[in-house]
Amino acid sequence: MEKAEQIRVLRQLLGHLDAGTNVDAGGIRRNPSDAYTSPERARKEWDGFFREHPQIVGLSADLPESGAFFTRDDFGVPLLATRDPDGRFRAFANVCRHRGVVVESEARGQKRRFSCPFHGWTYDNTGALVGLPMPEHFGKIDRDCHGLVELPAEEHLGFLWVHPQPGQSVEAEQRLSGLAPELESWGFGRLVHTGEDTYAAAMNWKLAIDTFGETYHFKALHRNSLAQSFHGNVQAYDTYGRNHRMALCLKSIDELRGTPEDTWDIRQGAFPVYYLFPNVQLNVGLGGVILVRVYPVPGDPGRSVSRISFYAWPDTLSRDPDMIAQVQSTFGAVIRDEDYVAAAASQIGASSGVQDAVVFGRNEPALHHYHNTYREALGMEPLPLLES
Ligand code: FES
Ligand SMILES: [Fe+2]
């Protein structure tokens, strides 16, 4: 993040604190409750945002060296991601070319060969079919045409992108809508993977996204957790096409007062959270980065799964490994046990049918942006801005 931008954001936060103000969306918006309950809407989102849209599936640290692999099954196409002998990130449908069985069932590890559990067809980490038991019994088959189906994959600024449909293109740089230089400046490619978690919840996937969209709730929901270290209801907010960056205001920002601005690090006074369309929240801290990927459960608008990946900056990891473990448990205690509990309660409200809409305040601009972005992507009219 450019130094000038760090200073601008920190100044803005200090200005809000001094004036008792917050970001202002300019009005309120009402979001129809069926955004969270409609099977038809859920089906369109699944197709348009997941099955047929490029996905961030991890960071470079998930494939730290040649021979590393991981698997995912979050967006309709089971994925086998590898780093091949040339160090290149590759993505394949984790589906055997013989009879369609999922080939690799381990979540991650180091392997150069992947053997299908059913009959033992074996593929290498470039997807090539390199082993077929009893070929003389099986019959003639062109091995060159029976490698794993390769998916479009791009490693860009430390992000691993995959398009679930063969023959499509990822175009990662374009997807970032101008955020690329800032994301590049963080050096996400240096991170080290330190852990993973999964939060399954009885709520629409957009309710999980919504919980990351404002700090208005800190003093109530997080009064005994985040409110201890954050100024609630104070944030900076900037949009980049379909993406955005929020800067949450840490109480430690007050220590920057009176110090030279050119020594400021945004992370001393703020906690940047990037949202990358359609389903990624990237939390950037002094110790490391937390990548959250949220997925619908197909066929059920009232359920979703969040995949959480934790990464550390190498210097923090060597200096303070205990801090890394602490971050992981704190994140679970706040996001899973507070935010997602509240969001699942919102799902109960939405499903009850007693209210036709929920309301987004002028201090919740990210919610305005998310939902109008989703609507625009589905060809729907934007939610109108209402005076408040
Ligand atoms: S289905 Fe994979 S080897 Fe037969
Ligand atoms: Fe929260």
Residues facing 70 on adjacent strands: 81, 108
Q: Which of 99, 104, 113 to mutate to test the pocket of ligand 1 (most atoms within 8 A of CB)?
A: 99
Q: Whose CA is nearest to atom 3 of ligand 1?
A: 119
Are 67 and 33 contained in the same domain?
no
Same structural domain for residues 46 and 59?
no
Q: Longest Cα pair distance anywhere in the chain, in angstroms?
A: 80
Percent of the chain with pLDDT over 70: 100
Whether 38 is covered by a domain: the verdict is: yes
Task: State pLDDT tens for residues 292-309.
Answer: 999 999 999 999 999 999
Please indicate, yes or no, whether the overall pTM of this predicted structure exceeds 0.85.
yes
Q: Are residues 198 and 80 in the same domain?
A: no
Q: Let me know whether 218 and 345 are in one domain.
A: yes
Quickly state the pLDDT bin for 321 (edges 50, 70, 90): confident
**Cross-strand partners of 241:** none
Is 385 a domain residue?
no
| Residue pLDDT, tens place only, 13-72 | 999 999 999 999 999 999 999 999 999 999 999 999 999 999 999 999 999 999 999 999
- Give the residue from 170, 196, 220 where a domain finishes: 170
Residue 95 in contact with ligand 1 by CB distance below 6 A? no
Average pLDDT over residues 144-148: 97
CA distance 215 to 226: 10
Contacts of 18 (CB under 8 A, 6+ apart): none
Mean pLDDT of the chain: 96
Contacts of 67 by beta carbon, 8 Å cutoff, 6+ apart: 83, 85, 110, 111, 112, 125
Give φ, ψ of 165 to 5 degrees.
-110, 125
Q: What is the pLDDT of residue 264?
A: 96
Q: Is residue 9 part of a domain?
A: yes
Are 208 and 313 in a shared domain? yes
Q: What is the pLDDT of residue 286?
A: 87
CA of residue 375 to ligand 2 center, whole Å = 24
- Ligand 2 (ion): residues with CB under 5 Å are 339
Q: Is residue 225 located within the same domain as residue 321?
A: yes
Q: In this predicted structure, what is the pLDDT of residue 387?
A: 79
Here the CATH number for the domain that contains residue 315 is: 3.90.380.10
146 CB under 6 A from ligand 1? no
Q: Are residues 216 and 260 in the same domain?
A: yes
User: What does each C-alpha distance from 308 to 57, 189, 194, 226, 365 come to in angstroms?
Assistant: 11, 18, 11, 19, 24
Same domain, 260 and 360: yes
Range(s) of the domain holding residue 62 = 55-170
Backbone angles phi, psi at 251, to 5 degrees: -65, -25
Q: Indicate whether 252 pLDDT > 90.
A: yes
Q: Which of 94, 95, 98 to mutate to test the pocket of ligand 1 (most atoms within 8 A of CB)?
A: 98
CA distance 35 to 360: 13
**SS3 annotation, the chain:** CCHHHHHHHHHHHHHHHHHCCCCCCCCEEEEEHHHCCCHHHHHHHHHHHHHCCCEEEEEHHHCCCCCEEEEECCCCCCEEEEECCCCCEEEEECECCCCCCECCCCCEEECCEEECCCCCCEEECCCCEEECCCHHHHCCCCHHHCCCCEECEEEECCEEEECCCCCCCCCHHHHCCCCHHHHHHHCHHHCEEEEEEEEEECCCHHHHHHHCCCCCCHHHHCCCCHHHCEEEEEEEEEEECCEEEEEEEEHHHHHHCCCCHHHCCHHHHEEEEEEECCCEEEEECCCEEEEEEEEEECCEEEEEEEEEEEEECHHHHHHCHHHHHHHHHHHHHHHHHHHHHHHHHHHHHHHHCCCCEEEECCCCHHHHHHHHHHHHHCCCCCCCCECC
Q: How many Å apart are CA 358 and CA 348, to the nearest integer?
A: 13
Same domain, 70 and 31: no
Q: Whose CA is nearest to atom 4 of ligand 1?
A: 119
Whether 91 has a pLDDT exceeding 80, the answer reads yes
Indicate whether 388 belongs to any domain. Answer: no
* CA pair distance 356, 351, nearest whole angstrom: 10
What pLDDT is attached to residue 113? Answer: 98
Residue 382 lies in a domain: no
Do 331 and 205 fall into the same domain? yes
Q: Which of 359, 343, 341 is nearest to 351 (CA)?
A: 343
Q: Are residues 77 and 39 in the same domain?
A: no
51 CB less than 6 Å from ligand 1? Answer: no
Whole-number Å distance between alpha carbons of 95 and 58? 20
Q: Rounded to the nearest whole angstrom, what is the distance from the C-alpha of residue 215 to the centroid of ligand 2?
A: 7
Residue 319: pLDDT over 70: yes
Question: What CATH code is carried by the domain that includes residue 76?
Answer: 2.102.10.10
Q: Is 387 a member of any domain?
A: no
333 alpha carbon, closest ligand? 2
Average pLDDT over residues 237-249: 97
Q: Are residues 65 and 44 in the same domain?
A: no
Q: CA of 100: how far to CAs of 93, 148, 167, 253, in Å? A: 10, 10, 20, 55
Domain boundary among 170, 192, 221: 170
Does 384 reside within a domain? no
Q: What is the pLDDT of residue 323?
A: 84
What's residue 340's pLDDT? 97
pLDDT grade, residue 388 (50/70/90)?
low
pLDDT tens, residue by residue, 149-194? 999 999 999 999 999 999 999 999 999 999 999 999 999 999 999 9
The tokens 């945002």 sit on which residue? 49
Number of domains in the chain: 2
Rounded distance from Cα 79 to ligand 1 centre (Å)? 17
The last residue of a domain, from among 108, 142, 170: 170
Q: Tell me which residue of 260, 317, 261 sits closest to 287, measured CA to CA.
A: 317
Domain-located, residue 383: no
